[in-house]
Amino acid sequence: MAEATPSRMTGGLVDEPKVLIVGLGLIGGSLAAALRAAGFGQGGHPGTIVACDPSADEIARGIDMGLIDSGATQLASLVEGASLIVLAVPVLAMQSVMSELAALLPEAQVSGGAPQVVVTDVGSTKAAVRDCALRAFGRLPSGLVLGHPIAGSEKSGVSAANPRLYVDHKVILTPTSETSPGALARVTALWRACGAEVLEMDVARHDQVLARTSHLPHLLAFSLVDTLARQDERLEIFRYAAGGFRDFTRIAGSDPVMWRDIFTANREAVLTALNDFEAGLARLKLAVERGDSDAMLAIFDRASHARHYFDSLLNQTSYQAEYQMQQQGKLTFRAAPGGRVAGRIRVPGDKSISHRSIMLGALAEGVTEVKGFLEGEDSLATLQAFREMGVAIEGPHQGRVIVHGVGMHGLKAPAGPLYVGNAGTAMRLFAGLLAGQAFDSELIGDASLTKRPMGRVADPLRLMGAKIDTAEGGRPPLKIHGRQPLKGIDYDMPMASAQVKSCLLLAGLYAEGETRVREPAPTRDHTERMLAGFGYEVHREGDTCWLRGGGKLTAAPIDVPSDISSATFFLVAAAITPGSNLTLEHVGINPTRIGVINILKLMGADLWLANEQEVGGEPVADLHIRYAPLKGIDIPLDQVPLAIDEFPALFIAAANATGVTRLRGAEELRVKESDRIQAMADGLAAIGVTHTVVEDGIDIVGAGDREIAYGGGRIDSLGDHRIAMSFVVAALRAGEEIVIDDCANVATSFPGFTELARTVGLMVNEERGGSAS
């Protein structure tokens, strides 16, 4: 018998001297098997499991299989001494079992603050079972805890009992105001011992949720299979049944009696769910009838990505990392020491431009074709958020995305909060864009994003007339009230932030008059360039840019260059390791992004550009770099905003230079995906690099030309993609292995990082482990 996960076993069960399972089918039998696997009644444990079932054969089989100690076909002989009674009978059989039980159990045993006997059930609908209990007991006893394990199988009978049936499955308990906390704790302990995750919900909610997630899909499967099976060409249909239809037949193969009972018991909630479904089906039918391909695409795209999206939303992790984590556990990078880099590579598309391509493409009139789109989690979350607002988006497929623009006023209210994963850019730009819509919206993100400041966009948006609620301290979630007339403002940004600037420009599209933003230092200007590319006039004079609201965007093709922020890891890798010689193709070299090139050159890097050209309004070039000894420098203040995302990697360059590198005026680093000054300082300390942290920067003492610059160690990336990748690069000059934890978020900006890194000589491997929690 397979073992249940030991960590899920609890002491709670040891207190149950006798568990009585009424109905020894698959569900009841599996419960007994799981309890046995968790050690109940085994090896000195005093508990016994008994069962009641109308079939004497099933009882005998249960005893033979070692699942139960004894059993009977009548309840009367079994109730005596039972401390926990589990009703595992079909919902429609519940009334008679409850009545029998009520007659057998002295009232005092199942009532009071600490009931002696606890009764629970496994029925798929809860209101009906609650009503049975009310009729049988005259009221709801405090010892009654209704429950529903969400697990099953097409098999039936005790012979199919599976001790792992509940492992990592959810069990919903539906306590009422009458339920005693002690009884609830005991039933919780029962299911936890079986490896299940226990959740609580109220009865009505449970029935509504299950009507949608379980009952409706079964109803549709039964109906579809039956309809097709009654048509003249049914033999053909079943002969050529392909994957999709086969899945329907699998679901329709479930126990008919059980499902009749469920639909009878949960009639109201099922009918409501069916009405909603019919309305959705009517919309789709209309789209098909009219040949409305945008409407069809919008529905299909949204649906085909729904599962990933909602999994990550529910768990508040980055968009796809959640899925990987569920499958494989937490991600650790192991970077072996030494090596050098050589070759010619192309890193993925620019994250900033990818976000903007979807946003402006969605608001444009016409179809925008995007090439080189970053298929990283952050930009995928942005893409999915627009699908949630009714925009038809095809792809991405090998970097190609087709956005069917809906025009400035064509977005539709999303059905729920928009989830933007790890992306500060998405949340801040969305805030501006959504402030101008005619519907309410809510923006939420993962754990890291939820800690980041949003007051910097909410405050100036409020000055424009927007109504925005934030959580305490100006943190996400952001609740944006629609239908607010916006007016242009003249805004002096307190910090050099392209996200704030872009947010205000996007809101400005919907505002009356001019929206002007002054930046204290130049920041990336992708929004301005792309707006211009879409035919929207954006002006600039010195440090101020502005636009007038009320115009429109016209779709235009977008060619996303490779991300200089991703290229940086390889630039630094080549810059610090003797013998390196690398070319990075088609990298975006927008003047507002090339701080890293300027800084590396100042440090002495042998770096040059070739093949310079302009694609879709953005300059690109191939970057060539060969090893040359680096020297420590004072980083010029004017380069800080131009290299803001590149500092984690530049700190590694500094650790390998001769002399001290000093960074100041970089307090913004403290509010990125992590506090990047502190996170890097902690990592540098772990591998033995001398440094001094100050509020707005850091001094790093470089190793000079020592072959081994520092040691190895274990680094916590704090879920920050750029911290993780920087320490992979650091390993090139380390004396020992560098192990980096919590790396799943690398996929937010650089999917396929380790594979690409290996092709140029970095010795890095991924390791999955730990449990998804």
Binding site for ligand S3P (CB under 6 A): 352, 425, 497-499, 502, 524, 644-645, 668
CA-CA distance, 480 to 418, in Å (whole number)? 11
**Of 161 and 423, which CB lies nearer to ligand S3P in the complex structure?**
423
Q: Which tokens sit at 78?
A: 């079994």
Integer-rounded Cα Rg, in Å, for the chain is: 31
Buried b / exposed e across 412-450, counting CB within 10 Å, b at 16+? Answer: eebeebbbbbbbbbbbbbbbbbbbbbeeebbbbbbebbe
CA atoms within 13 Å, Cβ hemisphere of 586: 14
Q: Which lies closer to ligand S3P via its Cβ, residue 30 or residue 502?
A: 502
Active-site annotation holds for 645: yes
Toward ligand S3P, which CB reaches closer, 79 or 457? 457
Q: Which residue, 499 or 577, is less far from ligand S3P as judged by CB?
A: 499
Alpha helices, DSSP H, located in 474-592: 498-508, 526-533, 564-576
Choose between 167 and 500: whose C-beta lies nearer to ligand S3P: 500
Tell me the closest approach of the beta carbon of residue 497 to ligand S3P, in angstroms.
Answer: 3
CB of 504 to ligand S3P, least distance (A): 12
At closest approach, how far in Å is the CB of 520 from ligand S3P?
12
For the chain, helix (H) and strand (E) counts, in that order, are 29, 32
Q: Are 505 and 537 in contact (CB under 8 A)?
A: no
> Cβ closer to ligand S3P: 118 or 558?
558
How far apart are CB 199 and ligand S3P at their closest, in Å? 36
Closer to ligand S3P by Cβ: residue 324 or 425: 425
Question: How far, CA to CA in Å, does 629 sit from each of 457, 574, 575?
Answer: 42, 11, 8
Tell me how far apart the alpha carbons of residues 477 and 417 are, in angstroms, rounded to a whole number: 9
Of 121, 261, 446, 645, which is the active-site residue?
Answer: 645
Tokens read off for 170: 């959810």
Give which of 456, 450, 391 is closest to 419, Cα–Cα: 450
Q: Which two tokens stand for residue 102?
A: 């009520």
Q: Find the shortest distance in angstroms from Cβ 7 to ligand S3P.
A: 38
Torsion angles phi and psi, residue 747, rounded to 5: -65, -10
Nearest to 17 by CA among 106, 98, 81: 81
Strand 441-444 and strand 475-481: pairing?
antiparallel
- Distance in angstroms (rounded) separating the CA atoms of residues 451 and 476: 7
* Angle, helix 26-37 to helix 181-193, in steps of 10 degrees: 80
**To the nearest whole angstrom, how small is the minimum distance from the Cβ of residue 751 to ligand S3P?**
16
Distance from C-alpha of 651 to C-alpha of 596, rounded to nearest angstrom? 11
Query: Could you tell me the smallest distance in angstroms from the CB atom of residue 229 to ligand S3P?
Result: 55
Q: How far is the CB of 420 from ligand S3P (least distance, A)?
A: 13
578: Cβ–Cβ under 8 A, 6 or more apart, which residues?
340, 627
- Stated length of the chain: 773
CB of 502 to ligand S3P, least distance (A): 6
Residue 502 or 639 having the CB closest to ligand S3P: 502
> How are beta strands 392-397 and 400-404 bridged, if at all?
antiparallel
**Closest CB to ligand S3P among 502 and 515?**
502
Backbone φ and ψ for 765, nearest 5 degrees, come out as -130, 155
User: Catalytic residue numbers?
Assistant: 645
